[in-house]
Amino acid sequence: MIQVRAQIRDRELHGAVHILHLHAPDLARQLHPGQAVLIQTGWYVDPFLRRTFYPVAIDDAGFAIRLAPDADRGRAWLRMAPQGAEIDILGPVGRGYALPERTRRILCLGQGDAAWTLLPLVHAASAQGLGVALAMEASTKRQTIPPRDLPITVEYHVATLDGSAGRRGDLRPLLPDLLRWADAVMAAGSLDFYHVLARMIEDARMILPRDYAQALYQTDFLCGFGACQACAADVAGGRRRVCLRGPVFDLVDILR
């Protein structure tokens, strides 16, 4: 983990959603898909807590975070921060997704805003020449990842609850085929989503084996280095600090 001053180098607006591109090469070099960064917002000590972000893009020069509209003061400050502004960042936090050796085909499965955190992994896996499928479910089209943000080789499936993009409903009908195709699954969503996923994996592959599916346990961190115990959650057979053991876990460990 390092602490850096990063500059806001660009801001993309997608309706009310902001994508902030941050110049932080030192941090970007250490950052892996699924790891978190902790961003200080506001003035002096207000708001006090750093905001936790899971980057939606990583390159040599820095990374990008996504700000969906909400009532949080810290994120509102970031939405208003001008281009060129410097912000204080701690990261990377914890362990990210790890592409298993000998994997040829990975299935990235995302739900809602969390699905965006899979984008760096989708790009990294695709750049390594792996077969990548991304399937996401969202409430509406506005939440979905635009196909132009994906490498051309990626197979993309979308389901929306209101039917505004892709198939209407959730991903369940698509999963049996996708799960039979994939050597490994990388997921980002809610705990309910992971329970459904685990059942579908058991149906498609008889068991939920260890080392088959990894999932992001999305939570907010206070210190991010294991001191404060604020992030301890029931994972991996005990109450454990997510900033040290996660935030990406084997799916088996998230459900235990």
Partner 1 sequence: MLNLAPRNKLGLVIDSPLLAGSGAVGYGDAWPPGLRPEDFGAIITAPVSAAPRKGRPQPRLTEIPGGFLLDTGGHNPGFRRLAASQIRTWRRLPTPVILALAGGEPGDRAWMAAHLEPLEDVIAGVELSVSEDVNLGETAAFIAAVRRATPLPILARLPVTRATYLARTAIVAGADALIVGTPPPASYPASQTLIEAPLSGPAAFPFTLRALSLLAELDLDSPIIAAGGVYSLDDALLCLEMGASAVAIRGLVWRDPAAARRLAINIRPFMPEMEGVESDEG
- Residues making contact with partner 1 (CB under 8 A): 1-3, 40, 45-50, 88, 90, 219-220, 222-223, 225-234, 239
Minimum distance of ligand FES from residue 244's CB (angstroms): 7
Q: Which of 70, 69, 72, 38 is nearest to 55 (CA)?
A: 38
CA 119 to chain CA centroid, Å, is: 7
Which residue minimizes CB distance to ligand FES? 243
In the sheet where 51-53 sits, what is the strand order? 51-53, 36-39, 86-93, 2-14, 17-23, 62-67, 57-58
Q: Could you say which of 68, 81, 154, 230 contacts ligand FES (CB under 6 A)?
A: 230
Q: Annotate 55-67 with DSSP letters as a single string.
A: -SEE-SSEEEEEE
Minimum distance of ligand FES from residue 168's CB (angstroms): 39
Indicate the DSSP class of residue 114.
G
Q: Does 231 bind ligand FES (CB under 6 A)?
A: yes
Q: Which is nearer to partner 1, 118 or 215 (CB)?
A: 215
Where do we find the tokens 């969202």?
Answer: 138
CA angle at residue 159 from 156 to 165, to 5 degrees? 85
Q: Which is nearer to partner 1, 6 or 145 (CB)?
A: 6
Q: Which of 27, 48, 29, 52 is nearest to 39 (CA)?
A: 52
Minimum distance of partner 1 from residue 229's CB (angstroms): 4
Q: Does 95 bind ligand FES (CB under 6 A)?
A: no
Q: Does 228 bind ligand FES (CB under 6 A)?
A: yes
Q: Does 234 bind ligand FES (CB under 6 A)?
A: no
Q: Where does this chain touch ligand FES (CB under 6 A) — which range of 56-64, 70-78, 156-164, 222-230? A: 222-230
